[in-house]
Each structure stands twice: as structure tokens, then as C-alpha cells.
Amino acid sequence: MDNNNLVEKLAVQVESFQEGFEILSKSLTFIEMVKSFLHIIRGNFIITEIYSFHKLASDSKWNNISLKKIPDQSYLSCLVDSDNPSIKYFEDLQIKVSINLPLADKSYLGILIGPKFDKSKFTDLDKITLQILLQVFDSAFKSFLNRQKEKALVFELNEKVLHLNNLIDTGIEISRYNKRRVLYDIALERITSLTNASSALIEIVKKSQGIVKKYITFPTGVEPDKILNSKLKIHSSFEHQDRSYTFVLSEKETRHSTTSFTELDQMLLDSISRQVSVSLENEYLHKQALEKEKIEQELNVAASIQQKILPESLPEIKGYDLAGINIPSREVGGDYYDCFDLSKGKFALIIADVAGKGIGAALLVSTLNAALNSYLQFDIPLTEMAERLNKLIYKSSPSDKYITFFIAVLDSISGELDIVNAGHNPIFLLRKDGNMEKLDAGGVGLGMLDFGLPFEGQKIVMNSGDKLFLYTDGIPEAMNDKEEEYSDEEMINFLKTNSEKSSIDFIDSLVKSVKDFAGSAQQSDDITALMLKRN
């Protein structure tokens, strides 16, 4: 690829780099920032595996901060210990790229990237893109550290304000008013009295519609320019939303003349300015609380709608034992399961997981449910139906939303299963003799790509005594307070040792096992599972 083509392709990506920086800059924690960064890398290169690590100093050990643990500790040997940023590429290893990024707080971020989905090599464009993404992360992390320092400084200033006992009465009085003009008038009157200023004003500058200035003076009628042009003045400023506020005091009065203001006067002015800022913030938070209450009401409505989408009961299949469960981690979740009776002894078992949670995920679940109710009425091959669903979800969702999806059409008489797995976790078929088979033939998640990639199907037969176990990643990735995962291994061991239970007892026992493991830790993801046994 020549330099001109490289420049042209990178120019197209400038907007996505900017969007990546904005996403990373909004992170509240370092872990959240790293997870968002891994998602950006995944989206840019369509890779199958990615792991992240962190250490506090160059001689410390790497700590895993990925959602998934590395399957082989030898992968860590790919990480380079260096005080300089480094990217290494490998061809003959499972790990294709290793990254060591020294951070502004003297700690280190390590990233290991597996092969691309299509097994292709990393191109020159890929390498340049990755280098730019690392610079984007570094800038976003520096911004994150600056915000942390600013919060610490604000906290220190607030603590000092609390020690100004002579301002308590003024603070209480100011906080009583929710009408801004009254608030401003009281603040100006009190600070003028406390500092013996001859006059004062508040300059309010609105920035969102160009620079629009407004002045409020005390005493009323004093010309703003007289205060602003005074040689004996002090000021204090703060910003709130799209406005900046500046208090200005002019000419401290004494018995004989006017004089300069003291450090105590400046402290008193800063304190009043801060109190007004807090009052404005409280007003804003009150409005936010009302808006949150409205949103919660809407979430309750969305939750009730979603409950109608999920099955109240599953159909009875002659010769089989079927049970399922869905436990959302929020009011509305992104997991979905169902079993459709297709008549003539055929049944469609479905499980799906939307990337993300909340109302956006619930809307995609609703879209998927509606599409399935439509498509399953016709005898469409599952691979063709998956392609149609992929196009529908791709057009119906933003770039960061997609659905992992598994469907199995069961012929209950013959036991034959017709299967497509679109990016979902491997589904397990436990044979009567104890052998375990993974069902993962299919393609990428629905809505992830629209390149016309075909979906592969798979056919397999359930015999008497076989069990089919469907689940979402909320089970193996459930975490306890130590941030340890329940793990795929524990889930598979549970399946093998409890498979002889009835389907409903198995599901109940599995949920109890996961919750016992998590303990007091908050449920981080939806928990959904289906168990089908052939008697």
C-alpha cells in the first residue's frame, strides 16, 4: 500500500479517532477506560481474543484486568518490560500483537491481541491505526488524571470553606432561595456588608449562543463600568454548565476614605461565590432528580413490556424435559430466550444476548422477538434467516450494539437439531455416556457486520438421555467481591455433576451456585439459561 493510500484511509478514520477519545474521556474509572479501549480495538480490527494487564511499576508483576482470564500464562512472556511504548507483532504464536504502554502516573498498561477473525495479517494501515489509538488512549488517560487532581483540589477548597464559621448564617440564608435573581441579590448584599465594599456586581456570561453578558449590581442602579474600571477591586469566578459567573467588589470603605481589600476579604468573596455555585448546582441536581424519577417510571414501563416478550411458560415437548430462566441485572436487560412451537413436532429454541444493557438493549430484544415471530412462520433455512436477521439488526442499531444469537430447531420425533450460532457462547450437548460436544457453527454476532458473510449451519441428533444446555455469559463471567469469575470450567463441571436432575431443578441449582459464588457482589450481567433433556 503506497503512502497516498495510507494517508487517505487514515484521513477517513480521523472522526472515529475523535469519537474514541470522547468515549475514553468520559470514563469514570481506569478499568472502565481500559474496557472501552479494548472494545475500540476489537471494533477496529475484528479480533477474536484480547487481554489487558496493569502494573504499578516497572519491576512489578502484571495484573490481569480483563473480563476474561488468559487461557495460558505463557502468553505473558509476549509482554515487553520497557520504559518506552512498544508494539511487537508475532506470526507463529496464538498472540499476534503485544503492547506495553507506560502511563502518565508511572504505571504500565499491557495488551495482548489474538488473531483477526478472518485470520489475516496486520497490515501497514492496521499498525499505524493501532499506534494512533495508543496515542489517543494516552491523551485520554492524561485528561483523566487531570480531572482527578481537579476533584481533589475542589475537595480541599470545600473543606476550607467549612471552617469559615462566620459565613454559616449567610450560607444558610442563600441556600433558602431557588429563584436565581433573589439568590444573586442576597449574595451581593451580604458580601458587600461583610467586606465593607462600596459596590458589587455579578457578571454572567452565556457561552452557548455566542458571548452574551448580563450584569446584576448592588446597590441597584450603579453603572457596571464604574465597578469594572475601579482600581481598587477584587473578583471571584466560577462556571456552571454553559455560563461563567464573576463576582466583583469595588472600593473597600473606611471611616475616612476607600482602600484596598485584604486577604480575608478575598477569602470571604470566594466563599460567597462558592456558596452561590453550590446553590446553582443543587438547583440543577434537583431538576436532574426529577428527570431521573421520570426515567425510572419509563424504565418500569419498559420492564413490564420486556416481561411480556419473555415467555411466562415454555411449551411441553413430548418425550423431553425443558426449563429456562432470565434474571436481568437492571430494570430491563439485554438477554432473551424463548421456545417456539412450530407444529408437527418441531420446536425452535432460542437464546440471545445484546451487547450492553438498559433501554437500548431492550429495544433490540423487542426487534429480535418481533422478527423471529415473523420469520419462524415460514420454513426458511436457518442460515438464510440468520442473514436476514443480521441485516435487520445492523440497520436497526448503533455501531456499538449487536446481538449474539443461537437457534436450534428440534424435530422432537427424530431428535434431530438444526443449528446456527451467530457469535454466541458455545452451546453444550452432554451425551448420555458423559461426552461433551460444543455447538458453535455459525458466524459473527447479528448486527456486528454487514459484509454479506455467510452463516454456517450444523445438524446433530439428540438421543435418549442427552442434555442440551444453552446460556449467556452472565453465568461464567459472574464475579465475586475479589473480582474472580465463576468461569467456564466451573459451569461445565456443574453441568456434568448435576445433569441428572430435572431441567427445572438443574436451572434452580445453577442459579443458586452462581449467586453463592458472587456473594454480596452486585450482579454485573443478565443471567439466562435453558436446559433441554431427552427422556
Between strands 416-422 and 442-443, the pairing is parallel
Query: What residues does 221 pair with on adjacent strands?
Result: none
Q: What is the dihedral of CA 123, 124, 126, 131, to 10 degrees?
A: 150
Tell me, yes or no, if the two domains 178-285 and 310-534 fold the same way.
no
**What residue ranges do the domains of the chain occupy?**
3-159, 178-285, 310-534
The span from the CA of 270 to the CA of 164, in Å, is 11
Tell me the backbone φ, ψ of residue 85, rounded to 5 degrees.
Answer: -60, 140
CA nearest to 446, candidates 421, 416, 476: 421
Q: 11-28 burial by CB neighbour count: b if 16+ within 10 A, else e?
A: eebeebbeebbebbbebe
The class that CATH gives domain 3-159 is alpha beta
Q: Is the peptide bond before 315 cis (omega within 30 degrees of 0)?
A: no
Going through 284-372 in order, the beta strands assigned E by DSSP cover: 320-327, 335-343, 346-354
Q: What's the CATH number of domain 178-285, 3.40.50.2300, 3.90.420.10, 3.40.50.720, 3.30.450.40?
A: 3.30.450.40
User: From first to last of its 535 residues, what are the pLDDT tens digits of the chain?
Assistant: 555 665 666 665 677 788 888 888 888 899 999 999 999 888 888 888 899 999 998 888 899 988 778 888 888 888 888 888 889 999 888 899 999 999 999 999 999 999 998 888 998 888 888 998 899 899 999 988 888 888 877 765 654 554 354 455 555 555 555 567 788 888 888 888 888 899 999 998 887 766 778 899 999 889 999 999 999 999 999 988 888 999 999 999 887 788 889 888 898 889 888 888 888 888 888 788 877 776 666 556 555 666 667 888 999 999 999 999 998 887 666 789 999 999 999 999 999 998 877 677 777 888 888 899 889 988 899 999 999 999 999 988 887 889 999 999 999 999 999 999 999 999 999 999 999 999 988 889 999 888 778 899 999 999 999 999 999 999 999 999 999 999 999 999 999 999 999 999 999 999 999 999 999 998 888 899 999 999 9
Measured CA distances, 274 to 156, 175, 184, 460 (Å) = 13, 12, 12, 70
This prediction has a pTM of: 0.49
Helix (H/G/I), strand (E/B), else coil: 10? helix
Cα separation, 438 vs 450, whole angstroms: 26
Other beta carbons less than 10 A from residue 532's beta carbon: 25
User: What superfamily in CATH does domain 310-534 come from?
Assistant: PPM-type phosphatase domain (3.60.40.10)
Q: Which residues contact 100 (CB under 8 A, 6 or more apart)?
A: 79, 80, 81, 82, 85, 86, 108, 109, 110
